A and B are shown apart, each in its own frame.
Chain A
């Protein structure tokens, strides 16, 4: 063993690959259940009326969003970091006992955190703030996990052989810093056990309960500064980090313009944070912040498209690879969906459009074309690229991959088209007046009309989940196959002839 040449150590990357797959299934399955509950309300009591409290739409909804964001996506981010980080810095985790220990600690603490989140959300222990539903004990655990992640990043950078940091590493650093700042400020809360009664009693009530440091409008402002940028630093920045590594690597093509990638980075960093105000248009936050949110959302198209176009142009002259390799298909369609949803978002952030779109399913559609089409596709592509290299086995089935790609693409298209129609229909019906100036529709009219779109959306979600299960099966068969590779695969695509 001692004389073996130094190799990259993917132990931690493999661990997080497993949670990416498992939590992806959980998050998407809950999502499909929720979709059908809206179309067919009797599904709310699918496990009987005794368990209705736990299978009901409202109780499950935070579990869906958090499982997808903090389960599937975050695991994917961690997994790719522990793979890409070593490679572009040209240093193995096996070279440092401390980093290896931190990596494993990171994984196990993360797993404990996930278990705590699932139990608490099902029990209804929540602060109600979207994507920050966790009460203070879990918040503290999350901060610890995040600090360990940061130590892993900077520890690996500290012992690197490559002097310059590759663009993906920039994005991973930004992910770490961005989420750290946002999460800390948004979750400022005071545990209610600190309250003391006039009679001198303290420690009253549930020990885990807390109250937000901010009230009303300020709370909303901080929450959407967080909520919008959790999307930035969870669904955009780290996914861009992935595509900047995996697409050049898988296609064997250098990035079209490295300079453009540097420019887009600083542009994205500066602009993204301002745009949170677009979630609060026509609310009670100061008008200038709403306008600022709108304007910056539109300017945000520039750096977003800078990255996306850079990726598509990387394939210049090599488009036959898109036809030949399902893996490249995932990444190219992912970039396309990224362009698409970073155009759709700014459109929805225009005040007059937002007046119709806000509170409707169009917003839900927008989130999902981004997350299913861009985040989901990119993370699956990254894992498909990593699997042959970390497990030293060929991908089990290429045709399964290709069918998965088409099933999921159809799923995403059904999802966002139905939600567009549903959202715009409902938005227009809410504001419709008859010739006497009275409201034309009662609220329930605007709900019943959505039934067919809710059903189509459910089918779209089901197709995506089916594709994800095919992905999980393909990965499982790859992991459990006999090893065939003597040495690690190089840059050539495992799909190549």
Chain B
């Protein structure tokens, strides 16, 4: 019987496929039936935050920074509460990372400020002496891609029912609404309004001028995203 398999390439291939697919069937598929539900206090990303998330991905920040706090005292002491599955409900893709060359960023919004990030991104070693992180000067001149972030919001709202323009429950019992523009122009206006709040705390005059003239540098979007990580 076994030997028959070895001389019939087609059935051999079927046999191999069943053997390797088995693990996925038992292990992975059933978990999808139980989609992870957002925990209370988790909101979808705003347009500017999502554009910042794209900047984070574009520069592979996840190559050196994780976004996963493991349930150990040393980690909760250093980074805050350990991660919960529902906190990642709006993360497509997930950004857990696999290497901590730099610290975890899961809750960096709790303990770093706009001003800190601005200085750090320009010259990390000036803020953290001996840091081996390189500077990210180009983030101050490249313009963030708001249109693509908006397109992603539309896509996830359409295909995965992400609750934009709907009330989501917050920890203090109130509700919050994350707005999504009704057109490209509207989305850009919303992002610009968010950007103005961020730049108010920044020092770089070129960045301030760019935002005043309606352009949003990548650094502003990135800081909006990092501040949202809580």
A, B assembled together: yes
Of B99-107, B168-176, B205-213, the segment with at least 4 beta carbons within 8 Å of chain A is B99-107
Question: Of residues 26 to 59 in B, which have CB atoms within 8 Å of A's CB atoms?
Answer: 27-28, 31-32, 35-36, 54, 57-59
| Given A52-B137, A59-B60, A209-B152, residue A190 in contact with residue B129 (CB < 8 A) | no
Cβ-defined partner of B70 (8 Å) among A193, A262, A282:
A282
Nearest chain B residue, comparing its CB with the CB of A272: B20
For A45, A266, A447, the residue with the greatest tally of chain B CB atoms inside 10 Å of its CB is A447
Is A286 interfacial (CB-CB < 8 Å)?
yes
In the assembled complex, the CB of B29 is this many whole angstroms from the nearest CB of chain A, namely 10
**CB-based contact B154/A270 at 8 Å:** no
| Given A170-B12, A221-B31, A444-B129, residue A124 in contact with residue B59 (CB < 8 A) | yes
Is B111 interfacial (CB-CB < 8 Å)?
no
Nearest chain A residue, comparing its CB with the CB of B134: A44
Of B88-96, B113-121, B193-201, B222-230, the segment with at least 4 beta carbons within 8 Å of chain A is B88-96
Is A219 interfacial (CB-CB < 8 Å)?
yes
**CB-based contact A222/B28 at 8 Å:** yes
The interface on chain A, measured as residues whose beta carbon lies within 8 A of the other chain's beta carbons, has a size of 96
Is A204 interfacial (CB-CB < 8 Å)?
yes
- A197 and B180 CA atoms in complex are apart in Å by 10
- A400 and B181 CA atoms in complex are apart in Å by 65
Cβ-defined partner of A57 (8 Å) among B64, B73, B138:
B64
A-B contact count (CB 8 A): 269
**CB-based contact B88/A216 at 8 Å:** yes
- A225 and B23 CA atoms in complex are apart in Å by 9
A49 partner residues in chain B, CB cutoff 8 A: 137
Of A314-322, A359-367, A488-496, the segment with at least 4 beta carbons within 8 Å of chain B is A359-367
- A178 and B77 CA atoms in complex are apart in Å by 41
Nearest chain B residue, comparing its CB with the CB of A191: B155
**CB-based contact B184/A217 at 8 Å:** no
A57 partner residues in chain B, CB cutoff 8 A: 63-64, 134
Nearest chain B residue, comparing its CB with the CB of A166: B6
Cβ-defined partner of A41 (8 Å) among B6, B134, B151:
B134
B73 partner residues in chain A, CB cutoff 8 A: 433
| Given A197-B154, A284-B88, A448-B130, residue A220 in contact with residue B66 (CB < 8 A) | no
Is A214 interfacial (CB-CB < 8 Å)?
yes
**CB-based contact A126/B7 at 8 Å:** no
A190 partner residues in chain B, CB cutoff 8 A: 155, 159
Is A403 interfacial (CB-CB < 8 Å)?
no
**CB-based contact A59/B59 at 8 Å:** yes
**CB-based contact A223/B13 at 8 Å:** no
**CB-based contact B70/A444 at 8 Å:** no
For B137, B151, B186, the residue with the greatest tally of chain A CB atoms inside 10 Å of its CB is B151
A360 partner residues in chain B, CB cutoff 8 A: 99-100
**CB-based contact B98/A217 at 8 Å:** no
| Given A177-B13, A209-B148, residue A52 in contact with residue B134 (CB < 8 A) | yes
Of A77-85, A127-135, A374-382, A478-486, the segment with at least 4 beta carbons within 8 Å of chain B is A127-135
Known: A199-B186, A205-B151, A359-B97. 16 other contacts (CB 8 A): A129-B93, A165-B9, A181-B20, A190-B159, A192-B151, A194-B159, A197-B150, A198-B182, A209-B148, A215-B92, A217-B88, A225-B28, A273-B22, A277-B27, A361-B99, A431-B74
Q: List 5 A-B contacts (CB under 8 A).
A: A41-B132, A124-B58, A205-B151, A215-B88, A216-B90
